[in-house]
């Protein structure tokens, strides 16, 4: 690489501190249900994390998302009742010991968090033909999920917890939030300051499910395609990177 090309390359890369901060945010993000504090969220912080969501990538630059900020205790109580109904049904879908374990999990912070946020997707936001969505109609929904993840990470960087609650009948959300037919409730989120962030996913801590080894999820050239002799060094690097990440470090 020439000196100019190397200089240009380093301009495009974050400083070591910023890069580490980004990975720390990604690795330290948690789904929060039980650690919310009742303290209000600063308007500036809420505005910044919504801007982060709005800067997500979207198919054909469709920006299909809308953000409904729910602070009203009455509205949150309605959503909590819808969660309770769905959660009772959900518990019956697991067998024996698993059902017991499920019932012991705290799976929402609807009334504990000071702000709830519904992120929706308007499937008609950009007319009937959208660049990039001509052959995969669901791309608008995936775009909205990108906005959710941006918000989740920005919130973590601001020290705010976010919990995603999906144990709710979408029809109930539609009624409570007055959603038009063309608008899909993609994510119902609880947001707030927290007492602490857990080091590991709560479902892992509680023995519900473990993080899968990354190397089992990476294939070569086709689904489940094994790596060749030349890929061994890379696979070892992945193993090391994941082990470091489990300790909250960068390899």
Ligand X SMILES: Cc1cc2c(cc1C)N(C[C@H](O)[C@H](O)[C@H](O)COP(=O)(O)O)c1[nH]c(=O)[nH]c(=O)c1N2
Binding-site ranges for ligand X (CB under 6 A): 30-31, 33, 107-108, 164-167, 201, 203
**Least distance between ligand X and beta carbon 55 (Å):** 20
Q: 122 has which bridge partners? A: 183
* Nearest distance from C-beta of residue 227 to ligand X, angstroms: 27
Q: Which is nearer to ligand X, 204 or 231 (CB)?
A: 204
- Name the residue whose CB lies closest to ligand X: 201
Residues 6 or more apart from 110 whose CB is under 8 A from it?
76, 79, 80, 83, 116, 165, 190
- Compute the least distance from the CB of residue 10 to ligand X, in Å: 32
Q: Which is nearer to ligand X, 10 or 166 (CB)?
A: 166
Return the number of the residue (108 or 122) whose C-beta is nearest ligand X: 108
CB-based burial, 11-20: b 16+ in 10 Å, e otherwise: eeeeeeeeee
In the numeric block, which tokens belong to residue 170?
Answer: 């979408």
Q: Which residues of 192-210 are buried (b: 16+ CB within 10 A; e: fewer)?
A: bbbeeebeeebeeeeeeee
CB 209 to ligand X: min, Å:
7
From the list 59, 56, 53, the residue with the least C-alpha distance to 139 is 59
68 vs 86, beta carbon nearer ligand X: 86
Nearest to ligand X of 60, 163 (CB atom): 163
Tell me how far, at minimum, the Cβ of 210 lies from ligand X, in Å.
11
Q: Which is nearer to ligand X, 67 or 164 (CB)?
A: 164
The CA distances from residue 149 to 33, 57, 114, 208, in Å, are 17, 11, 20, 23
In terms of CB distance, is 10 or 205 closer to ligand X?
A: 205
Closest by CA to 120, choosing from 176, 60, 75, is 176
Chain position carrying tokens 């729910």: 70
CB-CB contact of 124 with 64 (8 Å): no
In the complex, what is the shortest distance from the CB of residue 30 to ligand X, in angstroms, rounded to a whole number? 4
Least distance in angstroms from the C-beta of 41 to ligand X:
20
DSSP letter at 194? B
């Amino acid at each position: 690489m020439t000196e100019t090309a190397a200089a240009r390359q380093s301009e495009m890369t974050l400083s070591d501190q910023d890069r580490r901060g980004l990975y720390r945010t990604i690795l330290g993000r948690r789904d929060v249900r039980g650690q919310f504090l009742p303290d209000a969220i600063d308007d500036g912080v809420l505005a910044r994390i919504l801007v982060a969501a709005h800067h997500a990538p979207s198919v054909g630059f469709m920006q299909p998302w809308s953000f409904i900020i729910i602070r009203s205790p009455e509205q949150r109580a309605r959503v909590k009742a819808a969660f309770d109904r769905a959660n009772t049904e959900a518990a019956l879908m697991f067998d024996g010991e698993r059902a017991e374990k499920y019932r012991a999990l705290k799976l929402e912070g609807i009334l504990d968090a000071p702000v709830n946020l519904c992120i929706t997707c308007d499937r008609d936001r950009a007319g009937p033909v959208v660049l990039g969505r001509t052959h995969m109609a669901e791309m608008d929904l995936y775009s909205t999920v990108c906005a959710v993840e941006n918000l989740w990470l920005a919130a973590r960087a601001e020290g705010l917890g976010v919990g995603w609650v999906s144990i709710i009948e979408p029809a109930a959300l539609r009624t409570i939030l007055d959603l038009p037919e063309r608008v899909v409730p993609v994510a119902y989120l609880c947001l707030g300051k927290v007492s602490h962030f857990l080091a590991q996913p709560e479902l892992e801590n509680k023995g519900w499910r473990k993080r899968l080894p990354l190397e089992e999820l990476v294939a070569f050239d086709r689904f489940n395609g094994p790596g060749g002799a030349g890929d061994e060094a890379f696979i070892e690097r992945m193993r090391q990177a994941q082990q470091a990440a489990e300790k909250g470090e960068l390899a």
